[in-house]
């Protein structure tokens, strides 16, 4: 087997592992949002976590070709309204509201720390 074939096989294996890890992280974030007791504010309207996941999944399907990382998933699917440009906000009891991007990135970092 020549060196080029070995390189292609190694690169393919690495790419599949990266894709699998990214998909695991995205799945974790979707479960995290669905299970939250916090409210997800989108364009001035409050939504439950389950409602938010439905919307995020629609955007995820729409932007699939643009998403190469979990951070891209957050950016394209769960950060702000494409129509109004308003950032989504998370409202949790006894806490200040926070941009959904920051909330999800914090959860992603915590997930990565545990799953290194």
pLDDT for res 20: 55
| Total-model pTM | 0.81
pLDDT, mean over the chain: 86
Q: Running DSSP on this structure, what letter comes out for residue 38?
A: S
What is residue 89's three-state secondary structure? strand
pLDDT for res 90: 98
Q: Please state the domain extents for the chain.
A: 3-114
pLDDT for res 9: 42
**Rounded-to-5 percentages of helix, strand, coil across the chain:** 65, 10, 25
């Amino acid at each position: 087997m020549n060196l080029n074939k070995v390189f292609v096989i190694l690169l393919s294996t690495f790419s599949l592992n990266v894709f699998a890890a990214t998909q695991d992280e995205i799945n974790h974030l979707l479960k995290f949002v669905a299970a939250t007791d916090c409210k997800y504010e989108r364009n001035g309207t409050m939504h439950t976590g389950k409602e938010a996941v439905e919307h995020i999944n629609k955007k995820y399907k729409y932007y699939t070709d643009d998403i190469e990382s979990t951070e891209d998933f957050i950016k394209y699917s769960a950060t702000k309204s494409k129509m109004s440009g308003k950032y989504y906000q998370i409202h949790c009891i006894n806490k200040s509201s926070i941009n959904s991007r920051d909330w999800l990135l914090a959860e992603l970092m915590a997930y990565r720390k545990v799953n290194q």
